[in-house]
Chains A and B, each alone.
Chain A
Amino acid sequence: MKQLLVISGKGGTGKTSLTASLAAMSKEIILADCDVDAADLHLVVNPDVLEVHDFYGGKVAKINPSKCSQCHQCVTHCRFQAIQVELDSLFWDTQVKIDPMLCEGCTLCRYVCPTGAIDIDNNLCGEWFVSDTRFGPLIHAKLGIGEENSGKLVTKVLTTAREIGEREERQLLIVDGPPGIGCPVISSFSGTDLALTVTEPTVSGLHDLERVLDLAKHFTVNCVVCINKADLNREMTQKIIIYCQKNEVEVVGQIPFDKRVTEAICLEMTLWELLNQGDGEDRTLQALKEIYRKVISLIE
């Protein structure tokens, strides 16, 4: 099974719309949504959720006030400013409080506590799902609010998708990647045969493209580029093409700005499905076909 990752650096360039269209154009695929922080792919592929699993990642400290001797050793040693001394509501006494949002679960506070007042809990940090869609299985997830997007949940989604994909003898795993260049993106690189990088002809689009291509290079992931909304600014599109030539990254296609991208989302369908209702001469449709053809030939 081959693995195609769709990333962008900058958010909102069209990763999810393109991922969904590629899924609609392919056969024998499995989908993974690795944007666990703000997953949207499910909104256009209408999944039937078959399995829901809790995801525990990392640890979080909890204090038992009745055992606390107010020595404040934990406050001194915590490097994440997660433990604070607060006045109680009547201003009579102080109380040690642990902020679970700042706690990184290092467990040093428990170690230094002389009275055993600190417990460490496993942190329920999200959920992941196995679903069925009209294109094939979808593995997706929802990170809990304010949780560390350490890449562990991304890894869970990705390894589960690989397992199911191999078992069902799927030809291609298409991964909707997270934005940015941090942990989750690095985790989503694992096992990738080709990363399709979606950008837009804006100064931000180019700036973020440069950073995400650098990141991919750092981890020796093969990249190609697709320019979305390419006709919104021809000059910037040209700049992106020149940048890609210089860095020997192939530009596999340009998609024109098309309001039907948003229309498709509102209709809960993929752009490909919406465009296929019209005639075959459509520019956007041709652009999608071209990208699909090139990506598939490069990945095989």
Chain B
Amino acid sequence: MGVNSNLTIVVASGKGGTGKTTIATNLARALSREDGDLRIPQEMIQLIDCDVEEPNSHLFLRPELLERKEVYISIPEVDGEKCIQCARCSEFCVYNALAYIKGSILIFPELCHGCGGCSFICPAHAISESQRIIGWIDQGKIGKMEFLQGELKIGTPLAPPIIKQLKEAIDQDKLTIIDAPPGTSCSVVSSLYGADYVILVTEPTPFGLNDLKLAYEVVQKMQIPCGVVINRADLLSSGGDISVEDFCREMDIPILLRIPFNREYASCYARGDLLVDQFPDLQKAFIQLFMAVCANKEGMN
């Protein structure tokens, strides 16, 4: 069984709070261990936190942050002297980011998607573009492993441009692990683009199942191979809801790993510590998770 050490693996889930960040950060740590079995050089691994609304991977991996870059989108600026008040820009803008009111053009920067249409179509060349900060990209290191995260500026609604820019940092020669935002919307799609494999994290409850189905639909539509990790697999003494397992079997989705509920694990997570640092059997489990991903991916080819 081969180890494929230049995959881009996205950790995603429909439902929030199922353990995406736990899986992504622990997988990265388990793989980057110098004394690990796989001997993937640390510098050949990168972790990218694409959950830009609530980036949390850094809380667990505690990277040394080396550089912070601002992320901008272009928003229009109208030169009142040149403007001939034809209002074509406001008619063109589908986002209603420009409005023609009482003889002048008003701009609503929060609504602008930065398509550049208004400045392009303005017959008087009265619209130029200025830059508006919508967030930041941080770059850092954990040992020699590369760490990147995006952060959405509070009060800014536009996450996808930050995610797209973050993903330009993916090095195809490296093993890349991506912590995705929850849900099934365009932020998730942006995070999944170009992935080799998706790990869907869920929990054995009707909420977990409902949201797993949604996430699976996205992955199917994007034609990316995937497998499932069931977190808190034995949450209920009764064995919980077996319908998640049934669903996976029915859809022929491999279950890559089951992590039992354990108060010790919960408290380790609560403190911001990594499971694989505290529990040797989980270190092994995460390496096996990676092997299962490689094997499953290989089987597809």
Contact = CB atoms under 8 A, between A and B. Distances in A.
A180 B183 CA distance: 10
Contact of A266 (B56, B116, B236): B236
Given A40-B210, A148-B186, A179-B182, A214 B116 contact: no
Interface string B207-250: 10011001001100110000000000001110011000000000
B266 interface: yes
B121 interface: yes
Nearest to A260: B236
B33 interface: no
Nearest to A43: B206
A77 to B, nearest CB: 7
A144 B152 CA distance: 23
Contacts of A80: 115
A219 B154 CA distance: 10
A81 B14 CA distance: 25
B26 interface: no
Given A203-B272, A204-B59, A207-B59, A12 B236 contact: no
Nearest to B60: A203
Contacts of B154: 181, 211, 214-215, 218
Contacts, number: 177
A4 B31 CA distance: 45
A62 to B, nearest CB: 15
Interface in A245-300: 259, 262-263, 265-266, 268
Best-buried of A106, A186, A201 by chain B (most CB within 10 Å): A106
Contact of A38 (B158, B183, B271): B183
B36 interface: no
A19 interface: no
A148 to B, nearest CB: 5
A37 B267 contact: no
Contacts of A219: 155
B189 interface: yes
B283 interface: no
A143 B217 CA distance: 12
A101 B186 contact: yes
Given A77-B116, A233-B267, A149 B205 contact: no
A30 B10 CA distance: 38
A214 B157 CA distance: 14
A242 interface: no
A127 interface: no
A236 interface: yes
A132 interface: no
A4 B174 CA distance: 47
A64 B267 CA distance: 57
Interface residues of A, number: 60
A9 interface: yes
A105 interface: yes
Contact of A79 (B21, B54, B114, B235): B114
A225 B221 CA distance: 38
B164 to A, nearest CB: 8
B159 interface: yes
B17 A10 contact: yes
Contact of A263 (B56, B94, B211, B236): B236
Given A107-B92, A259-B235, A262-B235, A79 B115 contact: yes
Contacts of A81: 164
A268 B218 CA distance: 26
Given A143-B184, A151-B157, A101 B94 contact: no
Interface string B252-263: 000000000001
Interface in A204-221: 204, 207-208, 211, 214-215, 218-219
A104 interface: yes
B207 A265 contact: yes
A164 B155 CA distance: 29
B149 interface: no
Contacts of B94: 58-59, 105-107
Contact of A111 (B121, B158, B159, B207): B121
Given A211-B154, A214-B154, A179 B59 contact: no
Contacts of B221: 145-146
B16 interface: yes
A197 interface: no
A28 interface: no
Interface string A25-69: 000000000000110100100000000000000110000000000
B117 A106 contact: yes
B155 A215 contact: yes
B116 A207 contact: no
Given A106-B94, A107-B117, A143-B184, 13 more contacts: A38-B15, A40-B15, A146-B186, A146-B222, A186-B157, A203-B272, A207-B54, A215-B155, A218-B154, A236-B270, A259-B235, A265-B206, A266-B240
Interface of A: 9-13, 16, 37-38, 40, 43, 58-59, 77, 79-81, 101, 104-108, 111-112, 143, 145-151, 179-183, 186, 200-204, 207-208, 211, 214-215, 218-219, 232-233, 235-236, 259, 262-263, 265-266, 268
14 contacts: A12-B16, A38-B183, A38-B214, A79-B114, A108-B116, A111-B117, A146-B189, A149-B185, A179-B17, A201-B270, A203-B59, A203-B270, A204-B21, A214-B154
